Chain A
Amino acid sequence: MSVTELGSRAPAPQPMRLGRRGNRAGERGVEVLLFIAATVGVLTTVGIIIALVFPTIDFFGDVSIVEFLTGDSWTPLFADKEYGVLPLLVATLVVTAIATLIAVPLGLGAAIYLAEYARPKVRSALKPMLEVLAGIPTVVYGFFALVAIGPLIRDYWPGGDKPSFQNLLIASIAMGIMIVPTVASLAEDAMTAVPRSLRQGAFALASSRMQVATRVVFPAALSGIVAAIVLGISRAIGETMIVTIAGGLISDRVLFNPIEGSATMTAFIASAGQGDLPLGTVEYKSIFAVGALLFIITFALNIVSFRLVRRFREVYE
């Protein structure tokens, strides 16, 4: 009954008008706007490259690229200016190496625990805490390294030469903890993506939980785990505030000893960039040259990381 009533009120069918009613220019306009928003990222990349390339080319007009890459003293802010990037590069590598040595075991341990051991309830309590750790501003890490870790290490230092007030070791420790959440969450994603059937197969062969974790899941997730580590390294290289605050600003010689203070690439950029360096001078342009080197290194590491993640996805997704 009711159906016929509905039918009687239905408008007369107009079967031939299947073309567009009104113009849907709005639809097209929206799509164009959305596309423009999506290109902002590309414009940013282009902007970064332009911002780096022109001053860097200028810089190499004044300083030879050989001196830049092989010189062992970096003193653009001194009266006697030298432009050898090795001190900055070595300090960066020292900090990154120590931070990685700290972050990889801790991060992977946390990831294995969360992915293979923790009950869902425990996991859902621990993961937000890792997120909190990841969300702490790096200024805070730097401060803590300088005023808390520094004195602690000096007090208990066994050798004769006490670490300096600012040194690469304390910066590395803080940075190591800072990148734990990065490594842990990506590695955990990789491990949870390993199909359950693989685990069940191993358990059915009387494997213990540790054997399943280390001999089945870990190898299966390896490329994802390596990607997590590479991304962690890339973050360590690019991190600025911790090394600026706690790592020291000396760069007139190459220092491999982590208990001495030494400027990394990012620490140099931050310390030189806050002063009022006159535009167009070589020392001003040196900020951009170091920035370009930093960009190239992190870009290469990011590409490696994506490749690894993609390979991992191809296998399991």
Chain B
Amino acid sequence: MAIDTSRAETGYVHPSAAALKRRRIRLGDTLFRLALQFCLFVAFAFLASLIIYVLIAGWNRLDLRLVTNMPSGLASRADESGLQSALTGTLWVITLTALMCLPTGIAAAIYLEEYADNTRWYNRFLELNIQNLAGVPSIVFGILGLGIIARVFGLGFTIITAAIVLSLLVLPVVIIATREALRAVPPSIRLGSYALGATKWQTVRRQVLPAATSGTATGAILALSRAIGEAAPLILLGAVTFVRFNPEGISSRYTVLPIAIFNLIKSPQAELQELASAGIVLLLIILLLMNSIAIVIRNRAGKIR
């Protein structure tokens, strides 16, 4: 205020001072920012229209029939067709996948992060191999399942084959996420434990792992949600067959949600296209639930620190 009045009195403003207030409109800058926002907008508009589309297209079939009825083979009964066998198949496959890939992945991550001496060539090789495996196309895992697990091991086109293949497919995801969680545990906690005379495994199991729980859980959920949506390798492993029964055990034949949807998309009937949309909504709801659990875990962990 005081400065303003003095300026008014003298009527003089130094040119440099005046320059500070000259707001140049930087057209390029503004356009650039708009272009960047447009990029994100396109991605999210795609996401939104996709979700709205499947909701509208599948609206008529979004009821309990979806999960209580089996798929129908008769064209005349198409509107009574459901996806129960695919849903139970997905539950079976994912449960087995979780039982196999989570312990293995977490153990491998503990080895690589806490035990491995990185000056040894074989440890570096293990690490490089995991990174590389993360980039192998999922259909190639299907070929592994087809050529080795189904045929050589003789497990056939069964739930256990599907679960083994999906476990191997998402193993790198579990390992990489768990390693990040372990790396985030402050070294001082390990030192404190060693200084009390704890052994390495005691330190890892009682201090490091509990402190890394939320990161590990988040990674595990993300890995499993990837496995739930994965269809390509299972196409090669017999999941495309028409299955009208719930799995009876690990050596049962099966189908899963994404494959059932794939089959419906291929069929010409409008009712089945509608069912495909409803099935997609069901699949997305499952994935969204898992994602929200992961986000809640992450946020809660963020608050504690």
Which A residues are within 8 Å of any B CB, using their own CB?
24, 26-27, 30-31, 33-35, 37-42, 44-45, 47-48, 50-52, 54-55, 105-110, 112-114, 117, 126, 128-133, 135-144, 146-148, 177, 180-181, 184, 208-210, 213-214, 231, 234-235, 237-241, 244-245, 266, 269-270, 273-274, 279, 287-288, 291, 294-295, 298-299, 301-303, 305-306
Contact = CB atoms under 8 A, between A and B. Distances in A.
B26 A208 contact: yes
B136 to A, nearest CB: 7
Nearest to A302: B135
Contacts of B26: 208, 210
A156 B13 CA distance: 60
Given A136-B284, A240-B232, A273-B236, 12 more contacts: A40-B104, A47-B144, A50-B147, A108-B39, A112-B36, A129-B44, A143-B261, A184-B43, A209-B33, A210-B28, A288-B143, A291-B140
A74 B265 CA distance: 25
Contacts of B33: 113, 117, 209-210
B59 to A, nearest CB: 15
A38 B137 contact: no
Interface residues of B, number: 86
17 contacts: A27-B200, A34-B110, A41-B133, A41-B171, A44-B133, A48-B136, A51-B147, A109-B39, A133-B47, A135-B226, A137-B283, A140-B50, A208-B29, A241-B262, A245-B266, A273-B236, A294-B139
A119 to B, nearest CB: 13
Given A50-B148, A240-B138, A109 B57 contact: no
Contacts of A131: 291
A177 B43 contact: yes
A237 B199 contact: no
Contacts of A40: 104, 108, 168, 171
Contact of B40 (A35, A44, A110, A136): A110
Interface string B110-150: 11100110000000011011111101111111111011100
Contact of A113 (B40, B54, B236, B287): B40
B48 to A, nearest CB: 10
A259 to B, nearest CB: 20
Contacts of A213: 32
A209 B261 contact: no
B166 to A, nearest CB: 12
Nearest to A49: B144
Given A143-B265, A269-B143, A302-B135, A135 B291 contact: yes
Contact of A110 (B36, B141, B148, B228): B36
B115 A270 contact: no
Contacts of B273: 147
A177 B143 CA distance: 27
A239 B38 CA distance: 26
B46 interface: yes
B49 to A, nearest CB: 7
Given A47-B144, A210-B32, A137 B258 contact: yes
Given A139-B261, A144-B53, A270 B135 contact: no
Contacts of B284: 136, 140
A230 B175 CA distance: 22
B121 to A, nearest CB: 13
B171 A137 contact: no
Contacts of A214: 32
Contact of B36 (A41, A50, A113, A180): A113
A185 to B, nearest CB: 12
A51 B150 CA distance: 11
A76 B201 CA distance: 55
B201 A30 contact: yes
B79 interface: no
Contacts of A302: 131-132, 135-136
B75 interface: no
Given A41-B175, A51-B144, A132-B288, A298 B135 contact: yes
Given A41-B172, A51-B147, A241-B232, A113 B139 contact: no
A210 B284 CA distance: 37
Given A148-B53, A269-B143, A288-B147, A38 B116 contact: yes
B236 A38 contact: no
A45 B129 contact: yes
A48 B111 contact: no
Given A40-B171, A45-B132, A55 B199 contact: no
A294 B137 contact: yes
B83 interface: no
Contacts of B262: 139, 142, 241, 244-245
B280 interface: yes
Contacts of A184: 43
A24 B107 CA distance: 19
A59 to B, nearest CB: 12
A287 B237 CA distance: 13
